[in-house]
Amino acid sequence: MPGAKMRKKSNSRRVNSLPQQPSMASSLASSSRFLLHYRKISALVFFILVVCLIVVLNTSLRKEGVSQSDVPSNRLYTVEVVNEFPHDPDAFTQGLLYAENDTLFESTGMNGAVSFPLSSVRKVTLQTGKVKAIQRMPYSDFGEGLTLLGDRLIQVTWRQSTGYIYDRHNLSKFEKFRHDMPDGWGLATDGKILYGSDGSSTLYQIDPQTMKVVKKQIVNYQGDEVHRLNELEYVYDEVWANVWMTDCIARISQTDGSVLGWILLPNLREGLLHNLKKQIDVLNGIAWDRDGDRLFVTGKLWPKLYEIKLHPLKTPFNGDIKQMCMPPAFPFS
């Protein structure tokens, strides 16, 4: 039957010529690839939008003058009180240093005014605050910064270009010297040279043999001078300075005089005022136990000396560091 055979072949050709339909598995695979591609693009677009939003918000906040310090938080430090020790409440502290074996040396100021003793250099027991040895100064001398280099205790005096060198073992043995600073406020050493302050923004480097100034640096922070540098201490290869009439200690680079950070201590003085209900003066006095890595601070007429530990400020600082720690220049006259 040739006709039937021919019809079968014709039907066969028609069936084979139909387009192939995709399988269910291949359709699902294509849909998954499309969805994955779509999600990647969506995530990228969302990330770009978030970044743009952050940039816009930061720009807006800066334009609106949001009250936040531009000081990175790791350059600001608060303090934890580790120990409290007795301190002579009549000591108008001008210089402080740690020697060894829980012994401090301290320089005090005053000109023998009513109810105040003469200026002095004293050796003090840390644990009790008791004075083990003392050398009182002439009425005309107002004791200021003090440092120890070898066996020599070196002290400067206020409103004079003079100072004294004492034998640390016998305070009654001393000699007078002259220096090149306009005034004597603070003194510290790195073991090789002396660092001095005169109440201005100038940090002096002094040859300990000739007592001549060999270098001057203007202490600055963000382009502004830091005035009223007072008591000094050399700590961690930095020069630390009390800023007179503030509760701040500046950490100063010995290389270029820039302020590397600020230590904020208002809680110490405020705590004393609240608990003692008596008159005290400003924060002044920094001592560092190099071997034990201990830091001590006190103030003028403070009845306590504190061992402190520094903690970097971890939260945004909303104050004004320059207003808090950088008073105007002292009117020398």
Residue 4 one-letter amino acid: A
Helix (H, G, I), strand (E, B) or coil at 187: strand
> What pLDDT shows up at residue 105?
98
Residues 198-213, mean pLDDT to the nearest whole number? 97
- Write the pLDDT tens digit of every residue in 320-329: 999 999 999 9
Residues 133-162, mean pLDDT to the nearest whole number? 95
- Give the Cα separation of 39 and 44 in Å (integer): 9
> What pLDDT shows up at residue 94?
97
Residues 48-72, mean pLDDT to the nearest whole number? 44
pLDDT class of 274 with cuts at 50, 70, 90: confident
Instruction: List, in order, residues 6 or more apart from 199 with CB less than 8 Å away.
Output: 183, 185, 227, 228, 229, 230, 244, 330, 332
Global pTM value: 0.77
Whether residue 117 is predicted with pLDDT greater than 90 in this model: the reply is no
Whether residue 60 is predicted with pLDDT greater than 80 in this model: the reply is no
- Region of poorest pLDDT, from 192-196, 258-262, 270-274: 270-274
CA angle (197 as vertex; 196, 198 as ends), nearest 5 = 130
Whether residue 75 is predicted with pLDDT greater than 50 in this model: the reply is yes
How would you class 103 by CB atoms within 10 Å of its CB: exposed for 0-12, middle for 13-18, buried for 19 or more?
Answer: middle
> What pLDDT shows up at residue 16?
41
Whether residue 24 is predicted with pLDDT greater than 90 in this model: the reply is no
Is residue 211 within 8 Å of residue 177, measured between CB atoms? yes
- b vs e for 55-78, b when ≥16 Cβ sit within 10 Å of the residue's Cβ? eeeeeeeeeeeeeebebeeebbbb
Residues 77-92, mean pLDDT to the nearest whole number? 96
Distances 5 to 10, 14, 18, 200, 244 between C-alpha atoms, Å? 9, 14, 21, 118, 117
Whether residue 281 is predicted with pLDDT greater than 60 in this model: the reply is yes
> What pLDDT shows up at residue 330?
81
> What pLDDT shows up at residue 246?
97
> What pLDDT shows up at residue 36?
52
- Give the Cα separation of 330 and 167 in Å (integer): 33
- Give the Cα separation of 104 and 101 in Å (integer): 9
Residues 17-42, mean pLDDT to the nearest whole number? 49
Whether residue 12 is predicted with pLDDT greater than 60 in this model: the reply is no
> What pLDDT shows up at residue 113?
61
Instruction: List, in order, residues 6 or more apart from 144 with CB less than 8 Å away.
Output: 94, 95, 107, 109, 155, 156, 157, 158, 184, 185, 186, 187
> What pLDDT shows up at residue 112?
62
Whether residue 213 is predicted with pLDDT greater than 60 in this model: the reply is yes
- b vs e for 1-22, b when ≥16 Cβ sit within 10 Å of the residue's Cβ? eeeeeeeeeeeeeeeeeeeeee
Residue with tokens 């000739």: 210
Residues 148-174, mean pLDDT to the nearest whole number? 95
Terminal alpha carbon distance of the chain: 136
How many C-beta atoms lie closer than 10 Å to residue 30's C-beta?
A: 11
> What pLDDT shows up at residue 314?
87
CA angle (128 as vertex; 123, 131 as ends), nearest 5 = 25
Q: What percent of the chain has pLDDT over 90?
A: 67
pLDDT class of 114 with cuts at 50, 70, 90: low
Main-chain phi, psi angles of 161, to 5 degrees = -100, 40
Kindly indicate whether the domain formed by 75-325 is annotated with CATH number 2.40.128.50: no
> What pLDDT shows up at residue 185?
97
> What pLDDT shows up at residue 313?
92
Whether residue 224 is predicted with pLDDT greater than 80 in this model: the reply is yes
Residue with tokens 């999600």: 39
> What pLDDT shows up at residue 273?
86
> What pLDDT shows up at residue 111?
79
Mean pLDDT (the chain, rounded): 83
Query: Where exactly are the structural domains of the chain?
Result: 75-325
